[in-house]
Amino acid sequence: MINVGVLGATGAVGQRFVEILANHPWFDLVTLAASDRSAGKPYGKVVNWRLDTPFPENISKVKVSPTSPKSMKDVDLVFSALPAEIASDVEVEFADAGIGVCSNASSHRMEPDIPLVVPEVNPDHLGLIDVQRDEGRDGFIVTNPNCSTIMMVMALAPIRSFKFSNVKVATMQAISGAGFAGVAAMAIYDNVIPYIGQEEQKMETESLKIMGTLKEKKVINAPFSVSASCHRVPVIDGHTLAVWVNIKNPVKDLVKAYQNYKPPIKGLPTQPEKSVLLMEENDRPQPRLDRMRGKGMTVSVGRLREGVRFVAMGHNTIRGAAGASVLNAELIHKKKYL
């Protein structure tokens, strides 16, 4: 068992980390870090549990620690659910202190020596960990993408061998993506908000790095461009994407590609039976009915039709955040980087 901790353990994504890690076969959740005023108290007394799954009682008595490498000496790996502005420095501090960091924050995603990884899409990018070590870092930072980006690149993975140069994507994103208090009820109820700060830029840049090629310790961006339009809709969990890709092949070839798709990894505990599921019903996927497929780790694709157009959907705080990061950690462990 690997000893792990969570940074930012009381927030929305932090709680998802705790939920996923509470009974993990490889990782032992021994430390939970939160704000200084919570430090020293048991997690169960400090957290305001807001998930609709029951609170994992076995974690209740874990002591909350301050957010510093010193006070978390017993862990080999931390999961970071920190806000970007804090993550920026803190994650470097942990990595330099010899601790592995699997981060859901956006701070370091686009740095040339930091892997931005989706195990089903670019597992080999973990090779950038060696670059960090060459630079003298004892630990490492590995990041997972933005929640909308990951749904898109996973939906594109099975058809990446068909050449395309242009992707257009309109998102319909869930309110949980902004954290527990991020969206006021008065703002989103009976409404659509056609703007999410920085989201379009993230989709347009992160996707090129993820689907790019690692060559001589550098990632060369994938040769296509993305144009995104991001919208918030009154849905609790589950981001829906309407995607256009300029592939000329007939739809039936794409259907086959989805059906035959085999991800390049296997044997990871958090990996779902189907990483990408092609649905045939004409009104699916739907967030409320399909977001929990594969325990929230499956990306569902539907309405594949000429254009080429399709709809992709996945759980934004599981596959799009905490689950993505845990899956990365599992791959890192399997590849013996720990």
Structural contact between residues 228 and 203, judged by C-beta atoms closer than 8 angstroms: yes
Q: Answer yes or no: 230 catalytic.
A: no
Q: Which of 102, 108, 125, 147 is catalytic?
A: 147
Q: How far is the CB of 202 from a second copy (least distance, A)?
A: 16
How many angstroms separate the CA atoms of 139 and 185, rounded?
41
Nearer to a second copy, 216 or 281 (CB): 281
- Residue 88 Cβ vs a second copy, minimum distance, rounded to whole Å: 25
Q: Which is nearer to a second copy, 133 or 309 (CB)?
A: 309
Cβ nearer to a second copy, comparing 244 with 261: 244
Q: Which of 108, 125, 239, 333 is catalytic?
A: 239
Pairwise CA distance, residues 175 & 303, whole Å: 24
Question: What is the smallest separation between the CB atom of 195 and a second copy, expressed in angstroms?
Answer: 4
Q: Catalytic residue at 24? A: no
What is the maximal distance between C-alpha atoms in the chain? 60
Three-state SS string across 49-62, please?
CCCCCCCCHHHCCC
CA–CA separation, 249 and 307 (whole Å): 10
Minimum Å gap between C-beta 49 and a second copy is 8
Q: Which residues of this protein are in contact with a second copy, per CB under 8 A?
A: 12, 50, 52-54, 168, 170, 172, 175-176, 179-195, 227, 229, 231, 233-236, 238, 240, 242, 244, 282-289, 291-293, 302-303, 307, 309, 311, 313
> Integer distance in angstroms from the first to the last C-alpha of the chain?
11
CB-nearer residue toward a second copy: 10 or 143: 10
The whole-angstrom separation of Cα 117 and Cα 138 is 20
**Cα atoms found within 13 Å of the Cα of residue 142, Cβ hemisphere only:** 32
Q: DSSP secondary-structure letter at 116?
A: B
Closest CB 235 distance from a second copy, rounded Å: 6
Q: Which is nearer to a second copy, 119 or 294 (CB)?
A: 294
The alpha helices in 110-160, defined as continuous H runs, are 128-134, 147-156
Question: Which residues are identified as catalytic?
Answer: 147, 239
